[in-house]
Amino acid sequence: MPSVKIARKSTDTDMTPFVDVAFLILAFFMLATKFKPPDPVEITTPNSVSSDQLEQKDGILVQLDKDGRVFFAMQAEANKEAKKAVIQNLNTTRNLGLTAAEMKSFEKAYAIGVPFNQLKQFLSLDEEGQKKVKQPGIPVKDSATNELYYWVRDAVTAFAGSKISYLVKGDNAAKYPDFKRVLEAFKRNDIYKFQLVTSPESAPPGTELYRTRQGGPKPAAN
């Protein structure tokens, strides 16, 4: 009986193209990645049709989480002295009694969400400890104890002369009164122009904005 000999094929496959693709993707993600600063809270921003990109410039970022806690952060890349000036000024005006090390800790910390009377204790923690502790938020409840006002005031003074942005980043589920109080803290500092951080969304089809963006003829005004 003639036997048919089946040729033994190697089970090795050439992985080179596979590796090529894998490293291409790797290179893409490495370049596209921008590490976000550690947020003290998870904030899901609402969507908006606004097409303005978030600018990377110095400014004040007030975050509002779903429980109405308020966090204050300063982006001071260009003006490194600003954060130092703010904490030194607050230390004197509010009698916080901070040590030099604690002030240094403030410069490193990203967002602050504690009332003034707990600030010393918070800043005395090391970086890991600050991350773990649940911050109660800056009090904004009524105008007499609105501490955000002082933060904003000192930050504006520290940034004096440079053009800065005032960012408000709120969570979807945050209640309107908390947002209003944040705005009030700004308004009392004579700041009336804000930028709300949102997630981009395209204009719904059929609306006027959609038509404008498409560059099409506008319907006759009547």
Partner 1 sequence: MASIDTAAGESGHKKGPGVKKAKKLSTRVDMTPMVDLGFLLITFFIFTTTMSTPSTMDLFMPKDTKKEEELNKAKESGALTIMMGNENHLYYYEGKLAPDAANFTPSNFKEIRDVIIKKKKSTPPEDLVIVLKPNEQATYKNTVDMLDEMTINEIKRFALVDISEVENGLVHATEGTPMPPATAQPVQPAPTQ
Q: Which residues bind partner 1 (CB under 8 A)?
A: 15-16, 18-19, 22-23, 25-26, 29-30, 32-36, 45-55, 64, 93, 142-144, 149-150, 167-168, 170-180, 183, 186-188, 190, 192-200, 203-204, 207-210, 212, 221-222
Tokens of 73: 């952060």
In the numeric block, which tokens belong to residue 201? Answer: 């969304």
- Burial bucket for residue 190 (CB in 10 Å: 0-12, 13-18, 19+): exposed
Residue 185: closest CA among 44, 70, 57: 70
Q: Which amino acid, 149?
A: Y
Least distance between partner 1 and beta carbon 114 (Å): 20
CB nearer partner 1, residue 104 or residue 187:
187
* Pairing of β 165-170 and β 59-64: parallel
Nearer to partner 1, 105 or 150 (CB): 150
Rounded least distance, CB 5 to partner 1, Å = 26
For 46, the token pair is 């609402």
CA pair distance 10, 48, nearest whole angstrom: 57
Q: How far is the CB of 209 from partner 1 (least distance, A)?
A: 5
- Of the pair 25, 160, the CB lying nearest partner 1 is at 25
Which is closer to partner 1, CB of 35 or CB of 126?
Answer: 35
